[in-house]
Amino acid sequence: MEIARMYTLAKDPAVKARIQAINQLKAVLIRADPQLREELAGLGKNSSAPAQGAP
């Protein structure tokens, strides 16, 4: 039971931080130059672009 509580204590802030980061990126893209938005439009959840730092 203690492990489940520790997991929840670690997971909840991580999920909140992830949502905040996504929202900040969306806000940046809304205000971005149209050309940059077009370049980034192809990126998404199913993007085949390698993750940064990937070999």
Task: Report the candidate in 15, 18, 37 with the shortest Cα–Cα distance to residue 28.
Answer: 37
**Helices assigned H by DSSP within 1-55:** 2-31, 34-40
Please list the pLDDT of the chain residue by residue as tens digits (55 residues).
Answer: 899 999 999 999 999 999 999 999 889 888 888 888 888 777 776 655 455 544 4
Note the pLDDT of residue 55. 44
Question: Chain-centre distance of CA 21, in angstroms?
Answer: 6
Note the pLDDT of residue 39. 83
